Structure 1
Amino acid sequence: MPDRVNGVDEATRSERVTDLVRLAKRTGPLFRVASSFASPANRAHPFRAVVRTVSYDVRTRWLGRPTVARLGERSLLVSYRGETNSPHAVYRNPPNWPEMGVWQRLLKPRDLFVDVGANIGAYTILAAECGADVIAVEPNARNADRIREHLRINNYRAEVVEKVLADAPGVFRMTSDLDSLNHLLLGETDEGEKVEATTLDEVVESRDVAGVKIDVEGAERLVLEGATKALNEQRIRVIQLEWSEHRAQHMLGESRGSVADLLRGYGYLLHRPDRRGRMYRIDGEAFCGRDVFAALEDLSGLMVPLPR
């Protein structure tokens, strides 16, 4: 029997949503409303999501007042006008479903979680809510302050490292005015601002790590190459990686195959959650799409909890 949501079977609802999204793409506000209605994270209460989206547009985008959104079961995230990441927490909870749901299923109290490319700290806050010990790595000073703001209002603790992670310690240049799309500037250049670099091995030292999320705009391989000790000793259980072919080509001139080969060489199995939140294993080429989860054990069949 097909899945039914609010009395509508899944196939029919999907067709309606697709038509609505196509129609709304011509205008920003309508597209945001359609996307919120269509998001699996809002499956249980799609019309509430529409109300939140419209309210946010009026309050924050037009009037410039911050909006406080719920993240996870009991945490809060503040969204300010002009930010690109924080509005997603208003539109849907969690903002990155099903990826965030994987960590809600896997993380246990006192686990160590490292959020690499933390931006304003959505993953950091969600992991802290799960009871994990968190290290947030974010080189942009404004974003690092936003992480501390979110830790403060939620009464959570985490270590905030204002550096980039790379294959070796040093100094890099990085863009500073692209919000969530800030990235390293490799090669000889005077653009951007100087940032200090360290390695994942230095950050985690000799500790066992339950999870690492890496979202560094195409430079994920550099982060992994700075974790050879931890990877060799198999002290990192699960790694989530942004899987954008375009960004990897732009940053390092390579496909995602190099990262897949590197991880498999250390004994990791590659997985990806499908649109229903069920994890499946990738045995061949990992094509562009949802984030990839590399794990030392087979996560096939793991079900991400549905948002309530």
Structure 2
Amino acid sequence: MNFIDVGANVGTYTMFAASSGRYVISIECFKPNIDRIRNAIQIEKLHDKVTLLGNAIYSETGRYFKMKSNPFNIGSQAVITNSTANQSDYNDIFVVKTIQFNDILPVLKAKNIQHAVMKIDIQWAETYLCQAGNQIFDSVNIPVILVEWDIGARFYDRLRYLLKYFTRRGYIPTTDMCNILPEREALTTWPTHLYWMKMNLSEIC
């Protein structure tokens, strides 16, 4: 299994997987974090193990958006999709350029990646990944997906969308100990982090 790190933050998961000998597609949109990951790759001499993409995942490619940041949490940057920005603003660390998740398919094919586990942590933008990611899920065996699950009334529509999307693709929600989570409790008691698993393919549970 290789690794797809969507929302790599400072690269903790990316560097762990790459140093373990796995090939990593690492996607991160916040420029200071991209620099941190790039420096770590150089220091650890892992250039041949990581493809680093400095973009935000969205339903359209080539859009420019502003983002907000929390000074007390380096991992809490979020894209503001109703903001206005253009290419001339791109030097601003709080301006990002978007890609669709499907856009990474040529990279996966070039690296001959047919099997991968995935982590998604992109601050409430997971629906965009699903909306423009069917080609990836159809082409690559991804039996395990770690996602952040923010329960709260303002997230209900997003959570319902993710629930429907992954269950339709044969994924089962579980805890990190492989306990299956009841769907009826998705909006009330599911943990902050959970795993979507294809039980017959993951060989984990």
TM-score, normalising length: structure 1 = 0.54
CA distance in 1, matches of 2:126, 2:196: 13
Hey, what does 2:95 align to over in structure 1?
194
Hey, what does 2:163 align to over in structure 1?
260
The alpha carbon displacement at 1:201 in A equals 1.7
Match of residue 35, structure 2, among 130, 145, 169? 145
Letter of the 1:204 counterpart: L
CA distance in 1, matches of 2:198, 2:139: 11
CA distance in 1, matches of 2:166, 2:69: 32
The alpha carbon displacement at 1:284 in A equals 1.9
Letter of the 1:260 counterpart: L
Match of residue 164, structure 1, among 35, 56, 60? 56
- Greater RCO (Cα-Cα under 8 Å, separation 6 or more): 2
Match of residue 155, structure 1, among 28, 31, 45? 45
Hey, what does 2:181 align to over in structure 1?
282
Is 1:174–1:182's contact at 8 Å kept on the other side of the alignment? no
Change over 3 Å in CA distance of 1:301–1:160 after alignment to 2: closer
Hey, what does 1:180 align to over in structure 2?
75
Is 2:65–2:83's contact at 8 Å kept on the other side of the alignment? no
Is 2:173–2:197's contact at 8 Å kept on the other side of the alignment? yes
C-alpha offsets along residues 46-75 of structure 1, whole Å, 9 cap, x if unaligned?
A: xxxxxxxxxxxxxxxxxxxxxxxxxxxxxx
CA distance in 2, matches of 1:280, 1:234: 25
Aligned positions of 1:12-27 closer than 5 A: none
The alpha carbon displacement at 1:229 in A equals 1.2
Change over 3 Å in CA distance of 1:152–1:116 after alignment to 2: same
CA distance in 1, matches of 2:139, 2:77: 32
The alpha carbon displacement at 1:281 in A equals 1.6
The alpha carbon displacement at 1:188 in A equals 4.5
The alpha carbon displacement at 1:294 in A equals 1.4
1:219 and 2:122 matched: no
The alpha carbon displacement at 1:269 in A equals 1.7
Is 2:173–2:194's contact at 8 Å kept on the other side of the alignment? yes
Letter of the 2:191 counterpart: G
Change over 3 Å in CA distance of 1:183–1:208 after alignment to 2: same
CA distance in 2, matches of 1:221, 1:204: 18
CA distance in 1, matches of 2:23, 2:140: 19
Question: Which runs of 4 or more aligned residues in structure 1 lie more than 6 Å from their structure 2 counterparts after TM superposition?
Answer: none
Hey, what does 1:208 align to over in structure 2?
114
- Percent identity over the alignment is 21
The alpha carbon displacement at 1:195 in A equals 1.6
Aligned residues between the structures: 185
Larger Rg: 1
The alpha carbon displacement at 1:162 in A equals 0.5
Letter of the 1:270 counterpart: P
SS in 1 for 2:26: strand
Change over 3 Å in CA distance of 1:159–1:176 after alignment to 2: farther
Letter of the 2:178 counterpart: M
Letter of the 1:166 counterpart: Y
TM-score, normalising length: structure 2 = 0.78
- Kindly report the root-mean-square deviation, in angstroms, between the aligned alpha carbons of the 2 structures: 2.6
Note the residue ranges of structure 2 that are not aligned, 5 or more in a row: 86-91
Greater fraction of residues in strand: 2
